[in-house]
């Protein structure tokens, strides 16, 4: 193992101990195994999944057994490298792809490592995440961060990767018309990616006026209020629909808004079982699919931000230190919040 100028021995971490209960504790900084790097964390975005674990202690079959460290949207700097990793990586600013696939199962060998049956993913029980001063990362998933990108943007390449994966699944090409349900962080990111992919129209549906106004500033060409407007009655006939809301009614309305042979991509976290308009799906030969994380998205994500086609820094509406992780996880209760980051060094 090779260290940089500093060789930390102890670190602070924020641990989830129960619903609505986090606490800062000290732990040993782990030794760096072969093929991995130790990253000093600079910025961690708060994701909806973090909030769900914080409030409910589970997501589907993933049940928290405390203590658990949340946070999987990460950027930082390499401060130590394991055997087999070039010492030249020391000091590099990196964006972390928070996955540990096995690399040997059929899904991994087929290039779909996001579907690895033995996946270990940051902040998904029982794997600890990055609300900590230091994290271990496989060398191949510590992506060098262009100097033009901020630490916050580096952390938010993770949710941007979700947007890229969704639009790739949708097959979005220049000239397409795209409908997005939900103007939260993922919805706004999807809208920006759709424009970057060449979509001629990006329509965002959200019941909150402030969110609709913000979506118009950040990529949408039009917005719809699903409460007062009859979305299906508008007969939009879009090429692709992306659900970033997790609301069953929004999924059904979005599917009914597709043109024949259109594609619906479900991204939002909602009920495990939802009734769908099967007759519409059959009669129009629609494709309905999901997105589970991402594969091979970081180079494109960094390019979209560095080239100015996607703005991630503008999404950040709040910052908190490690001692204020509880406040960061509850920030979504304010409708003015879009994206909050935790800065462990603050």
Domain residue spans in the chain?
A: 2-156+312-343, 163-290
pLDDT for 60 equals 86
pLDDT for 346 equals 80
**pLDDT higher than threshold 90 for residue 285:** yes
Average pLDDT of the segment spanning 96-109: 97
Could you tell me the two tokens for 339? Answer: 């994206």
Average pLDDT of the segment spanning 308-334: 96
Helix 157-170, helix 298-306: angle, nearest 10: 110
Q: What percent of the chain has pLDDT over 90?
A: 93
- The torsion region of residue 168 among left (phi > 0), alpha (psi -120 to 50) and beta comes to alpha
pLDDT for 115 equals 97
The β-bridge relationship of strands 10-18 and 99-100 is: unpaired
Closest CA to 150 of 312, 326, 298: 312
> Per residue in 32-45, pLDDT tens?
999 999 999 999 99
Residue 272: pLDDT band (50, 70, 90) is: confident
- The least confident of 96-105, 269-278, 308-317 is 269-278
* Domain 2-156+312-343 architecture: Alpha-Beta Complex (3.90)
pLDDT for 335 equals 83
Residue 271: pLDDT band (50, 70, 90) is: confident
> How far is Cα 268 from Cα 141, in angstroms, rounded to an integer?
25
**pLDDT higher than threshold 90 for residue 136:** yes
Residue 62: pLDDT band (50, 70, 90) is: very high
* Domain 163-290 architecture: 3-Layer(aba) Sandwich (3.40)
For residue 39, CA distances in Å to 3, 31, 130, 236 come to 11, 12, 10, 47
H helix or E strand, kind and range, residue 49: helix 48-56
pLDDT for 92 equals 98
**What count of residues does the chain have?**
346
H helix or E strand, kind and range, residue 39: strand 36-45
Domains 2-156+312-343 and 163-290 alike in fold: no
CB under 8 Å to 170, separation ≥6 — which residues?
Answer: 178, 239, 240, 242, 263, 265
**pLDDT higher than threshold 80 for residue 1:** no
Average pLDDT of the segment spanning 179-198: 97
- Helix (H/G/I), strand (E/B), else coil: 263: strand
Q: Provide the whole-model pTM.
A: 0.95
**pLDDT higher than threshold 90 for residue 269:** no
């Amino acid at each position: 193992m090779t260290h940089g100028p500093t060789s930390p021995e102890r670190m602070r971490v924020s641990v989830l101990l129960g619903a609505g209960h986090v606490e800062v504790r000290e732990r040993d900084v782990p030794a760096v195994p072969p093929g991995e790097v130790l990253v000093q964390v600079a910025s961690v975005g708060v994701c909806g999944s973090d909030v769900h674990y914080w409030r409910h202690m589970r997501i589907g079959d993933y049940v928290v057994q405390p203590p658990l460290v949340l946070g999987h949207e990460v950027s930082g700097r390499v401060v130590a490298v394991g055997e087999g990793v070039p010492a030249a990586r020391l000091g590099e600013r990196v964006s972390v792809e928070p996955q540990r696939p096995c690399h040997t199962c059929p899904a991994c060998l087929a290039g779909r490592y996001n579907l690895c049956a033995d996946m270990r993913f940051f902040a998904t029980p029982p794997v600890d995440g990055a609300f900590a001063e230091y994290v271990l990362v496989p060398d191949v998933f510590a992506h060098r961060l262009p100097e033009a990108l901020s630490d916050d943007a580096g952390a938010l390449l993770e949710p941007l990767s979700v947007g890229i994966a969704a639009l790739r699944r949708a097959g979005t090409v220049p000239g397409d018309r795209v409908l997005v349900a939900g103007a939260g962080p993922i919805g706004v990111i999807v809208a920006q990616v759709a424009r970057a992919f060449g979509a001629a129209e990006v329509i965002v549906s959200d019941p909150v006026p402030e969110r609709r106004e913000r979506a118009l500033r950040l990529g949408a060409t039009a917005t719809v209020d699903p409460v007062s407007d009859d979305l299906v009655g508008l007969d939009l006939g879009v090429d692709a629909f992306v659900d970033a809301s997790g609301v069953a009614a929004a999924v059904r309305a979005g599917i009914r808004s597709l043109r024949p042979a259109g594609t619906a991509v479900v991204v939002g976290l909602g009920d495990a079982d939802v009734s769908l308009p099967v007759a519409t799906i059959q009669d129009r030969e629609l494709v309905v699919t999901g997105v589970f994380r991402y594969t091979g998205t970081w180079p494109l994500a960094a390019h979209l931000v560095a080239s100015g086609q996607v703005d991630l820094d503008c999404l950040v509406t709040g910052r908190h230190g490690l001692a204020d992780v509880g406040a960061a996880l509850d920030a979504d209760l304010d409708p003015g919040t879009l994206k909050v980051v935790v800065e462990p060094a603050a």
